[in-house]
Amino acid sequence: MSLPELARLHTDLDADDVAWLQLLQADWQIIADLSFADLVLWLPDRGGTGFWAGGQMRPTTGPTAYVDDIVGSFAPTGRRPFVDQAYTEGRLVREGDPEWRDDVPVRNETIPVRRAGRVIAVVGRHTNLLGVRTPSRLELSYLQTAADLTQMIAAGHFPSVGQRSDHADSPRVGDGFVRVDEAGVVVYASPNALSAFRRLGLSGDLTGVVLSDLTRDLVPPRQRPDEETLSAVLGGRAHRDTELATSTVALIVRSIPLRPHGDRIGALVLVRDVSDLRRRDRELVTKDATIREIHHRVKNNLQTVAALLRLQARRMDSADAKSALEEAVRRVGSIALVHETLSQAVEENVDFDEIADRLGAMVTDVGSSSDGVGVRVRREGSFGVISSESATALAMVLTELVQNAVEHGKPSVTGIVVRAERDAERLHVQVEDDGAGLPEAFALDESTSLGLTIVGTLVESELGGRLRLGPGADGGTKAEFDVELV
Ligand SMILES: Nc1ncnc2c1ncn2[C@@H]1O[C@H](COP(=O)(O)OP(=O)(O)O)[C@@H](O)[C@H]1O
Ligand SMILES: [Mg+2]
């Protein structure tokens, strides 16, 4: 069950309280990692009889103390006295002796979560002591920073409002950890953070260096954030992330100012090398651009073919030959239209409504040599997004059907409706005119003319449907088929 649901069902927490706790949860992986400990969020029951576990986070830097999921479980008052105590007394509580849980010694601490002066929840911190070694510099720095952050939670200074990081690539503690003092000077840098800055071009040590000055030296102005962001994030003055890059290295930097007792004493700065990720992004972008460029060229080539056919049509004396070539021009043109749309698309899918509308206009265009002048084509419903493979076939089919309505609906045809109805698996398409109607004794199966043969073949082999042709509602003709959406 989610935190907001649990809160609504069992507690008196209001929407602002829940938002605060969610903001806390957005960043508490950092605290779990710095503490080498599991965190559990306890929500006070509405009736005051105990606490509900509203969230849980395991450390990625050490062993867990909680193998089981406990979210949604209830701890009546008295079962976890440290939670009760932190809540009622509003202070951090730490027990003296470890608790033994399944042969694992666990140290329990509890932190009141304060918002707007009130304690709204309690965070339990549970350290599996089997994972604790003699502390190194790294571990001491982690633990000190975790202590600062938990002080801030208890004092209502953490999380900071409006600074949630939803970055999927947001750095974690293990990616690179730097602690700076209130002047922005590095006090401690983890080996991973040091290597990240070494890759950026640092030759000496990171300790003792002003992080924002160093960044200005190493990163060309074009590839670093504006001066304000840079000094705010790398100086540890703002709770925010930013990205830096050279031609070969890209880093995401995330800073959390520390003010355990109110005044800022420095900041925690996390660094992650995302060079590989960014390189892959760039490759994808170029690949997309290449595909779009190819569609563009195919479109140009098809338009050239259409122009050649049109030239040839003009030189024909026979009316039959002329109209045959003009029909070919339209067929080629309808495919060109799909490629043109694909050349502007972000993905290999197209919003087909625009194509359908332009096809209708193309067939009835006053300037074209077709005889659709005065006939209106109207679309009802939406085709939605169609894969590029189906789009070309569908465009050709529609061109033929609209063309037939114009051509064979004469002399009475005035309007053509292209109807699209879509559900999850299929697209149902109708082309209906108010024209002369099908000739008597017309049989689709026996028709050997090119247009309907093309339509029938494409509908069956490319679109997974079957063409039907019959009288329309207003006496004209209705063609319909389904398209299988994959
Ligand atoms: N909308 C329509 N209204 C009336 N007749 C149609 C319609 N669509 C198709 N037909 C009939 O089906 C025949 C076959 O069409 P088609 O295969 O496209 O060949 P063509 O258009 O070259 O005649 C047409 O000649 C016409 O008699
Ligand atoms: Mg035809």
Q: Is the model's pLDDT at 11 over the cut of 80?
A: yes
Q: DSSP secondary structure string, 53-100?
A: EEEEE--SSS--S--S--TT-EEETTTSHHHHHHHHH-S-EE-SSPEE
Mean pLDDT of 249-263: 93
Mean pLDDT of 209-228: 91
Strand order in the sheet with 250-258: 186-189, 177-181, 266-273, 250-258, 240-245
63 Cα to the center of ligand 2, angstroms: 73
Q: Which of 322, 449, 454, 468 to mutate to test the pocket of ligand 1 (most atoms within 8 A of CB)?
A: 449
pLDDT per residue over 448-482, tens digit each?
888 899 899 999 999 999 999 999 987 899 999 99
Establish whether residue 385 lines the binding site of ligand 1, counting it when its CB lies within 6 angstroms of any ligand atom. no
Average pLDDT of the chain is 90
Lowest mean pLDDT among 114-123, 141-150, 246-255: 246-255
> What is the token pair recorded at 381?
């419903």
At residue 157 the predicted structure's pLDDT band, cuts being 50, 70 and 90, is very high
Establish whether residue 27 lines the binding site of ligand 1, counting it when its CB lies within 6 angstroms of any ligand atom. no
Establish whether residue 454 lines the binding site of ligand 1, counting it when its CB lies within 6 angstroms of any ligand atom. no
Q: Is the model's pLDDT at 241 over the cut of 80?
A: yes
At residue 367 the predicted structure's pLDDT band, cuts being 50, 70 and 90, is very low
CB-side neighbour CA atoms (13 Å) of 175: 18
Give the three-state DSSP class for 24.
Answer: helix
> Distances from the Cα of 286 to the Cαs of 248, 249, 289, 296, 346, in angstroms?
17, 19, 5, 15, 12
Q: Is the model's pLDDT at 168 over the cut of 80?
A: no
pLDDT per residue over 56-87, tens digit each?
999 999 888 888 899 999 999 999 999 999 99
Q: Which of 377, 408, 459, 468 to mutate to test the pocket of ligand 1 (most atoms within 8 A of CB)?
A: 408
Query: CB under 8 Å to 43, separation ≥6 — which residues?
Result: 3, 6, 7, 10, 11, 13, 21, 51, 52, 53, 54, 121
Q: Which residues are within 5 Å of ligand 2 (an ion), measured at CB? A: 404, 451
